[in-house]
Amino acid sequence: MTHHRRTVLGGLAAGSAAFAAPMVMAQGVPRVVVVGGGAGGATAARYLALESGGAVEVTLIEPSRSYFTCFFSNLYIGGLRDMQSLGHGYGTLAAEYGINVVHDWAVAVDRDARVVALASGASVPYDRLILSPGIDFKNGAVPGWDVTAQDDMPHAYRGGTQAELLKSQILAMPEGGTFAMIAPPDPYRCPPGPYERISMVATTLKAMNPRAKILIVDPKEGFSKQALFEEGWQRHYGGMIERIGPDFGGAAVSVDPAAMRIDIDGIVEDVDVCNVIPAQRAGRVAHEAGLTEGDWAPVNAADMSSRLDPAVHVLGDAAAQGDMPKSAFSANSQARVCASAVLGALTDARVFPAVYANTCWSLIAPDDGVKVGASYEATEEKIARVDGFISELGEDAETRADTYRESLGWYDEITADMFG
């Protein structure tokens, strides 16, 4: 692995010195480092600290001091949540669970030496490493757009300021203006689901700009819960939303952020707001660590361990694990399985069989919620879907309102599971 280590070190601004001064850790206690403080990483760190009773030292590396969830950010755009309600801190994890919370960027991994390099120049040694870095965007996925254009055409696919920017642009649209979304190809992080976002944009525009139009430019033939969304759009926002799929040019699109124009297979459209959601891949540190094949990091279904390094586990959006969607619910479920496996490997703790589940809720309009979900099992090849469920077309208003309220309860439960 010497060649790999040189490659990683060569990419560091601080050079090999970044690995030269590791942080002092407790002697004789197994060390677990978790990179990424979202639904996968924060959950894994909390369960490791909680279940180990001090037998394992846990360090959580996360650059943000306040974590704003991507899930439910669409409800902020729809005026149903405020931004403060989506923000969470790491103080409880540090104070009550004894987790070493390091607010810094993990920029590289020396897998031979088992050390994570930080942007500050420090480094953190590990016995087991858990990566939950979320997503990054693929360069060139939408011609004319890169991250330098995100202030003009926001992606709003990371929590916080991007969602605030997109909402401010929507509120500033001229009367009768056009909102456009460039939807991502599969696979992509969801939530914040693109089609729930369309619904929440439509909710806002229906209230303050009812003559506005919404245009979806989509490279995919279809999408999850499509019939439910289209039924709801017709019922709540008739005539406002148009979707252009690949048969009509949705797969051949480019943008001009400065002119606020989109080109759909040669047809140019002037728009007032454009939400560009590019094709995605695993967060950068997974690639820098040499743990990816193509866009994602392959893992073993039984414990989320990397197929390229058994001392590393990869969770959530970054993992190529099989049938589970790239959702917060999935990442949280995977984190629990991973934490049990890591504790078993480092201590004499019992390892519980891998059991996975996911539910994804989407809000079509205020009090009109739908959901889809499944249970999964670990096989030699992948995490495999066992059975599932989905909301039905034509459900009554009480059922849909109950589904929405169920999603609110889930948000409270998962954030408590993440942050204590």
| CATH code, domain with 75 | 3.50.50.60
Mean pLDDT of 388-416: 98
pLDDT at residue 7, as a whole number: 24
179 within domain boundaries: yes
Residue 159 — pLDDT band, cuts 50, 70, 90? confident
Q: Is a pLDDT exceeding 90 seen at residue 176?
A: yes
Residue 21 — pLDDT band, cuts 50, 70, 90? very low
Q: Is a pLDDT exceeding 80 seen at residue 12?
A: no
Mean pLDDT of 274-300: 98
pLDDT at residue 4, as a whole number: 28
Q: Containing domain of residue 222, as a range?
A: 144-278
Could you tell me if 168 and 243 lie in one domain? yes
pLDDT at residue 20, as a whole number: 39
Contact, 112 vs 1, CB < 8 A?
Answer: yes
> Which residue would you say has higher pLDDT here, 181 or 6?
181
Could you tell me if 260 and 306 lie in one domain? no
Could you tell me if 26 and 47 lie in one domain? yes
DSSP assignment of 173-236 equals PPTT-EEEEEPPPSS-B-SS-HHHHHHHHHHHHHHH-TT-EEEEE-SSS--TTHHHHHHHHHHH
- 81-101 pLDDT, tens digit per residue, is 999 999 999 999 999 999 999
Q: In angstroms, what CA-CA distances link 232 with 224, 335, 355, 392? A: 14, 34, 33, 12
What percent of the chain shows pLDDT beyond 70?
A: 94
Task: Give me 104's structure tokens.
Answer: 């810094």
Q: Is a pLDDT exceeding 80 seen at residue 59?
A: yes
411 within domain boundaries: no
Q: Is a pLDDT exceeding 60 seen at residue 333?
A: yes
390 within domain boundaries: no
What percent of the chain shows pLDDT beyond 90?
A: 92
Of the three residues 245, 278, 311, the one that is the final residue of a domain is 278
395 within domain boundaries: no
Q: Is a pLDDT exceeding 90 seen at residue 343?
A: yes
- Domain count of the fold of the chain: 2
Could you tell me if 159 and 123 lie in one domain? no
401 within domain boundaries: no
Contact, 358 vs 376, CB < 8 A?
Answer: yes
Could you tell me if 148 and 273 lie in one domain? yes
Sheet of 253-256, strands arranged across? 253-256, 261-264, 267-270
> Which residues lie below 8 Å from residue 194, measured CB to CB, with a gap of 6+?
181, 183, 184, 188, 216, 223, 277
Could you tell me if 254 and 293 lie in one domain? no
pLDDT at residue 19, as a whole number: 39
406 within domain boundaries: no
pLDDT at residue 309, as a whole number: 98
Could you tell me if 36 and 129 lie in one domain? yes
Q: Is a pLDDT exceeding 80 seen at residue 9?
A: no
Could you tell me if 310 and 267 lie in one domain? no
Could you tell me if 267 and 289 lie in one domain? no
31 within domain boundaries: yes
Strand partners, 33: 59, 129
Could you tell me if 104 and 125 lie in one domain? yes
Could you tell me if 219 and 314 lie in one domain? no
pLDDT at residue 28, as a whole number: 83
Is the CA virtual torsion 331, 332, 337, 340 positive or negative? positive
- 250-273 pLDDT, tens digit per residue, is 999 999 999 999 999 999 999 999
What is this structure's pTM?
Answer: 0.92
Mean pLDDT of 381-389: 98
Write the burial class of residue 98 (CB in 10 Å: 0-12 exposed, 13-18 middle, 19+ buried): middle
Of the three residues 334, 349, 364, the one that is the final residue of a domain is 349
Instruction: Tell me the pLDDT of the chain averaged across its residues.
Output: 93
130 within domain boundaries: yes
Q: Is a pLDDT exceeding 80 seen at residue 196?
A: yes
Residue 313 — pLDDT band, cuts 50, 70, 90? very high
Of the three residues 328, 349, 370, the one that is the final residue of a domain is 349
Could you tell me if 27 and 42 lie in one domain? yes
Q: Is a pLDDT exceeding 80 seen at residue 124?
A: yes
pLDDT at residue 27, as a whole number: 56
Rounded to an integer, what distance in angstroms lies between the CA atom of residue 47 and that of residue 115? 22
pLDDT at residue 3, as a whole number: 28
